[in-house]
């Protein structure tokens, strides 16, 4: 059993095609809104990704700067593959329409659950790309990724997370935010995205995302835009956020 899928997302942003191209066709650009670390090598026509133990390589099939980019990985023994296509259309008054089509094949009897997790995740990623182009134009971020413990009670976990972040149970995009994270001073900002399995927060110098991983763990997938943020700080911050997760989840049953 398995299932072929195809999903298309569309946004219009107040940015020119070159800005959009930099966001989708360079490693630092993709790092800022997607997940993990990414490398785009035009010479070898490859896109490489590193996200925990997941390190796929994608072959670029279409490369038309400021217009079109497409890449996909080789199908696995079970037929699994994912393909991405980006179409850029410049509009008047420095506006650009970006379409992202995601397609592929998911094997197994649980393909529907995996597809739903993928769909909800890509809604957040595409919304994050919009945030980058709107609020951090011309800037790139250092990604910070943390895999927390495996979760068996997601309702209790989301309740504890919202409570720790000072958010209401009915949190919505646009809600104001006062965030005191484990690695720095208090920041103000807002919730920019929320669905059943993801939560996205934006402050003046960072984007913070929390995800329900398909494998069962909770994931922090943050983007640090400060020019002063270093790789050493990132490595320390990942350890601190991991401890923060452990502390949060050890007390979640008492927070209900």
Q: What is the CATH number of the domain that holds 121?
A: 3.30.530.20
Asked whether residue 125 falls in the same domain as residue 14, the answer is yes
pTM for the structure as a whole:
0.91
Local confidence band at 149 (pLDDT 50, 70, 90 cut-offs) = confident
With beta carbons less than 8 A apart as the criterion, state whether 236 and 140 touch.
no
Stated length of the chain: 256
Asked whether residue 121 falls in the same domain as residue 13, the answer is yes
Q: Domains in the chain: how many in total?
A: 2
CA nearest to 193, candidates 180, 174, 206, 170: 174
- What is the CB-side half-sphere exposure of residue 67 using CA atoms within 13 A? 4
With beta carbons less than 8 A apart as the criterion, state whether 61 and 71 touch.
yes
For residue 251, what pLDDT is reported? 64
For residue 159, what pLDDT is reported? 94
* Interval 135-144 mean pLDDT: 94
Asked whether residue 23 falls in the same domain as residue 127, the answer is yes
Query: What range defines the domain where residue 47 resides?
Result: 2-135
For residue 213, what pLDDT is reported? 85
- The alpha-carbon radius of gyration of the chain (Å, integer) is 18
Domain boundary, last residue among 115, 135, 155? 135
Asked whether residue 156 falls in the same domain as residue 185, the answer is yes
Asked whether residue 60 falls in the same domain as residue 99, the answer is yes
**In whole numbers, what is the pLDDT of the chain averaged over residues?**
91
Asked whether residue 110 falls in the same domain as residue 170, the answer is no
Q: Does residue 92 have a pLDDT over 90?
A: no
With beta carbons less than 8 A apart as the criterion, state whether 39 and 129 touch.
no
With beta carbons less than 8 A apart as the criterion, state whether 176 and 190 touch.
yes
Local confidence band at 18 (pLDDT 50, 70, 90 cut-offs) = very high
Q: Does residue 80 have a pLDDT over 50?
A: yes
**Which tokens in the block code for residue 142?**
């250092």
The total of other beta-carbon atoms located within 10 Å of residue 238's CB is 17
Asked whether residue 148 falls in the same domain as residue 222, the answer is yes
Asked whether residue 78 falls in the same domain as residue 149, the answer is no
Domain boundary, last residue among 111, 135, 159? 135
Q: What is the pLDDT of residues 49-60, one digit of tens each?
A: 998 788 999 999
Asked whether residue 71 falls in the same domain as residue 148, the answer is no
Highest mean pLDDT among 64-78, 84-98, 213-227: 64-78
**Which tokens in the block code for residue 136?**
């951090």
Asked whether residue 122 falls in the same domain as residue 154, the answer is no
DSSP-based three-state secondary structure for 47: strand
Domain boundary, last residue among 135, 156, 178? 135
The residue assigned the tokens 């980006």 is 86
Q: Does residue 113 have a pLDDT over 90?
A: no
CA nearest to 179, candidates 193, 190, 165: 165
Q: What is the pLDDT of residues 208-248, one digit of tens each?
A: 999 998 778 899 999 999 888 888 988 899 999 999 999 98
């Amino acid at each position: 059993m398995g299932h072929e899928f195809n999903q298309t997302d569309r946004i219009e942003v107040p940015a020119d095609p070159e800005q959009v191209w930099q966001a989708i066709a360079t490693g630092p650009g993709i790092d800022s809104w997607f997940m993990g670390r990414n490398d785009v090598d035009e010479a070898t026509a490859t896109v490489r990704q590193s996200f925990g133990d997941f390190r796929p390589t994608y072959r670029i099939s279409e490369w038309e700067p400021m217009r079109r980019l497409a890449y996909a990985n080789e199908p696995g023994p079970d037929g699994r593959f994912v393909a991405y296509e980006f179409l850029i259309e410049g509009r008047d008054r420095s506006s650009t329409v970006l379409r992202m089509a995601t397609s592929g094949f998911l094997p197994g009897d649980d393909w529907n659950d995996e597809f739903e997790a993928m769909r909800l995740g890509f809604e957040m990623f595409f919304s994050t790309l919009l945030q980058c182009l709107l609020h951090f134009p011309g800037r790139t971020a250092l990604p910070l990724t943390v895999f927390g413990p495996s979760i068996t009670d997601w309702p209790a976990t989301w309740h504890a997370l919202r409570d720790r972040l000072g958010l209401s149970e009915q949190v919505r995009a646009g809600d104001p935010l006062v965030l005191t994270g484990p690695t720095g001073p208090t920041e103000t900002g807002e919730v920019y995205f929320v669905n059943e399995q993801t939560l996205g927060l934006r402050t003046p110098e960072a984007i913070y995302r929390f995800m329900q991983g398909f494998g069962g763990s909770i994931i922090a997938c943050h983007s640090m835009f400060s020019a002063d943020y270093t790789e050493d700080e990132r490595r320390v911050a990942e350890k601190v956020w991991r401890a923060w997760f452990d502390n949060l989840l050890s007390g979640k049953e008492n927070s209900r």
